[in-house]
């Protein structure tokens, strides 16, 4: 195993329905067998087909507190415009389960040539799914440009809930976030000349600032959605290479963790970026940036892809987990990079995240980026998280509704989608004697998209019908849409190097709602389970201390739970009788040449 590999385990979290979902990573490339096809350029949000008539000059000034951490970013921007009138500014109140983003924008003030601009603040109706909702600062009169916007974006003192690395956070004297986590911008998506300036005078000597747009200050063109697709980081940062971006890959990080060897892992990431670029046939040389932040909360995990960049967040002291229980750090790094090339035919996370999860295991095996054993761990983790998942046979809609409430709902589209794509790839290879693969079909869809066609789920259905017949279309409906059919890969799905076995694993009877970490609120109660028969209900708040490990233990035990339901105290007693389900796992066959394992 290469030095530094698989020492640190986290799970990547990408928003279910981002309020700022831009077309930044939705390019579907593919592979012909184990060789790359020529790839179109990654989608570029900057579209300088004509000079921008509007200009936005942004100054970001991080300010420290007495402890040396960044307490806020003072935001100032000036807009000049010769086009459509600006009617409002907006930001998310809740964004992908992250609360209080707009609430943390203090002293919000707009001025123009005529003086202070009156503002009316209006919030959207809260979104019960935790996807998010917006705050609107609506102007009370026509603006006499140029217009200046000032406010103070306050850093949250801690991470309140699970969510992607969009919110403004500080640790080790650094500050980081993605545009929607602290920028309140006009509702205007015309082309702008964007000038970004870092004022680091309050951070002390040696502080640097970087973003997806540039090392240091930026001068570019694009719609304002480009800023929402941008990551920002400033402070006493580590970086790779030491001199910053020299044309392609670079990395920045804020904070250190004893679980990480930053220089080794970033050097591997640079090598991985080059290897993935070649594998996907992307020969264009362009800047690409990785941002990594260390946070003190042990619940922190996840990654998020943006414009020619991504950010991951890791806890200072990661929780101890069994080997293979979560993706390795390098697996997460590869996953987020692959997002820049791999996109599905639409229709939700089974497509985007499922396909990227498939490629993360598949491409690393083919390119040699990870040991063969890491591929086995990846596939087995995907299998365990799918077969023992209470939502395994839920509809896509039902799983989406539980995305932020229950980790099981979150990981289902990743794992069900990945196994579905592995199954389709296996069936295509067998049906065509190896002449067609899932990769080639995806490449064809991407070529059609690049030609201007609107590639949709229906396009994928027609592809299935033409390649594998009506049975494949029926499988798609029953596995992905309705969830009534369980994916079971053939014993030889991964070739002669890997063999399948069956183990029994626990399916938990219920979980606790992650959206309310201050209480243990029951969600995902399995109908017919011992807890359900005893009278436990979704929405009950469990007062009795109960370790989460108990829910996934194969041992039966007597439980007496004090709960509250609608404010009324109750006591529920039952003998836990955990359901054991079949999980299909894989092992490497001894003696098979590694080149065979990698498909060489």
User: Per-residue pLDDT tens for 487-539?
Assistant: 999 999 999 999 999 999 999 888 888 877 778 899 888 888 888 999 999 99
User: Residue 464 pLDDT > 60, yes or no?
Assistant: yes
Cα 425 to Cα 431: distance, rounded to the nearest angstrom:
10
Mean pLDDT of 38-62: 66
Do 237 and 262 contact (CB within 8 A), yes or no? no
Residues ≥6 apart with Cβ < 8 Å to 466: none
> Residue 68 corresponds to which tokens in the numbers above?
């040396």
The share of the chain scoring above pLDDT 70, in percent, equals 88
> Residue 36 corresponds to which tokens in the numbers above?
């790359």
Secondary-structure breakdown of the chain: helix, strand, coil percentages, each rounded to the nearest 5: 25, 30, 45
How far are the Cα atoms of 68, 73, 157, 202 from residue 65, in angstroms, in the given order? 5, 11, 11, 10
User: Residue 27 pLDDT > 60, yes or no?
Assistant: no
Condensed to tens digits (0 to 9), the pLDDT of residues 60-109 reads 999 999 888 899 999 999 999 767 789 999 999 999 888 889 999 999 99
Global pTM reads 0.84
CATH 1.10.390 given to domain 342-504+583-597: yes
> So where are the chain's domains?
41-262+293-317, 342-504+583-597, 509-577
> Residue 146 corresponds to which tokens in the numbers above?
């140029």
Range name among 66-80, 107-121, 235-249, 469-483 with the lowest pLDDT average: 235-249
Mean pLDDT of 430-450: 88
Q: Where does the pLDDT of residue 368 fall: very low under 50, low under 70, confident under 90, or very high at 90 and above?
A: very high
Q: Can you give the length of the chain in residues?
A: 600
Sign of CA dihedral 398, 401, 405, 408: positive
Average pLDDT for the chain = 86
User: Residue 184 pLDDT > 60, yes or no?
Assistant: yes
Cα 186 to Cα 91: distance, rounded to the nearest angstrom:
9
Sign of CA dihedral 69, 72, 78, 81: positive
Residue 329: its pLDDT value, please? Answer: 86
Condensed to tens digits (0 to 9), the pLDDT of residues 240-288 reads 998 777 778 999 999 988 888 888 999 999 999 999 998 888 888 889 9
CATH code for the part of the protein at 509-577: 2.30.42.10
Sign of CA dihedral 432, 438, 443, 448: positive
Q: Are strands 147-154 and 208-211 parallel, antiparallel or unpaired?
A: unpaired
Q: Which fold has domain 41-262+293-317?
A: Immunoglobulin-like (2.60.40)
Residue 325: its pLDDT value, please? Answer: 63
The closest alpha carbon to 46, from 219, 187, 209, belongs to 219
User: Residue 43 pLDDT > 50, yes or no?
Assistant: no
């Amino acid at each position: 195993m290469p030095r530094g590999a698989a020492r640190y385990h986290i799970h990547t979290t990408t928003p279910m329905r981002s309020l700022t979902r831009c077309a930044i990573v939705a390019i579907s490339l593919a592979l012909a067998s184990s060789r790359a096809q020529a790839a179109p350029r990654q989608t570029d949000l900057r579209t300088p087909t004509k000079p921008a008539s509007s200009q936005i000059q942004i100054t970001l000034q991080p300010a420290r507190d007495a402890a040396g951490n960044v307490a806020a970013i003072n935001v100032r921007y000036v807009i000049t415009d010769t086009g459509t009138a600006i009617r409002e500014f907006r930001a998310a109140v809740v964004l992908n389960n992250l609360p209080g983003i707009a609430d943390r924008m203090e002293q919000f003030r707009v001025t123009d040539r005529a003086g202070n601009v009156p503002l009316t603040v209006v919030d959207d109706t809260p979104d019960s799914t935790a996807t998010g909702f917006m705050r609107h600062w609506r102007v009370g009169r026509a603006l006499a440009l140029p217009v200046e916007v000032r406010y103070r974006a306050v850093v949250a003192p801690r991470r309140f809930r699970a969510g992607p690395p969009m919110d403004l956070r500080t640790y080790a004297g650094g500050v980081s976030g993605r545009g929607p986590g602290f920028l309140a911008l006009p509702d205007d998506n015309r082309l702008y000349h964007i000038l970004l300036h870092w004022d680091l005078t309050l951070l002390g000597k040696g502080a640097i600032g970087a973003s997806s747009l540039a090392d240091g200050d930026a001068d570019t063109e694009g719609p304002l959605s480009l800023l929402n697709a941008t990551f920002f980081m400033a402070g006493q940062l580590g970086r790779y290479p030491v001199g910053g971006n020299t044309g392609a890959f670079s990395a920045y990080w804020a904070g250190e963790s004893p679980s990480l060897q930053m220089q080794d892992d970033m050097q591997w990431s640079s090598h991985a970026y080059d290897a993935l670029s070649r594998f996907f046939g992307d020969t264009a040389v362009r800047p690409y940036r990785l941002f990594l932040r260390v946070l003190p909360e042990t619940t922190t995990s996840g990654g998020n892809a943006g414009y020619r960049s991504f950010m991951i967040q890791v806890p200072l002291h990661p929780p101890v987990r069994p080997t293979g229980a979560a993706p390795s750090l390098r697996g997460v790094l590869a996953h987020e990079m692959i997002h820049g090339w791999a996109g599905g035919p639409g229709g939700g996370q089974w497509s985007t995240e499922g396909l990227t999860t498939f490629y993360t295991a598949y491409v690393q095996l083919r390119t040699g980026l990870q040991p063969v054993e890491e591929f086995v761990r990846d596939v087995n983790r995907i299998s365990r998280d799918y077969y023992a998942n209470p939502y395994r046979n839920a509809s896509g809609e039902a799983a989406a509704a539980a995305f932020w409430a229950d980790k099981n709902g979150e990981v289902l589209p990743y794992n069900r989608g990945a196994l579905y794509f592995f199954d389709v790839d296996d069936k295509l290879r067998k049906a065509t004697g190896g002449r067609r693969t899932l990769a080639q079909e995806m490449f064809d869809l991407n070529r059609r998209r690049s030609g201007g066609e609107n590639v949709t789920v229906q396009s994928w259905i027609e592809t299935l019908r033409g390649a594998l017949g009506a049975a494949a279309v029926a499988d798609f409906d029953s596995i992905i849409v309705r969830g009534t059919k369980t994916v079971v890969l053939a014993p030889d799905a991964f070739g002669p190097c890997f063999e399948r076995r069956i183990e029994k694993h626990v399916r938990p009877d219920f979980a606790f709602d992650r959206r309310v970490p201050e209480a243990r609120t029951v969600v995902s109660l399995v109908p017919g389970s011992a807890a359900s028969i005893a009278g436990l209900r979704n929405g009950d708040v469990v007062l009795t201390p109960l370790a989460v490990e108990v829910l996934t233990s194969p041992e039966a035990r007597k439980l007496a739970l004090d709960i509250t339901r609608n404010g009324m105290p109750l006591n529920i007693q039952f003998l836990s009788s955990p359901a054991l389900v079949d999980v299909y796992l894989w092992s490497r066959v001894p003696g098979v040449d590694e080149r065979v394992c990698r498909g060489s």
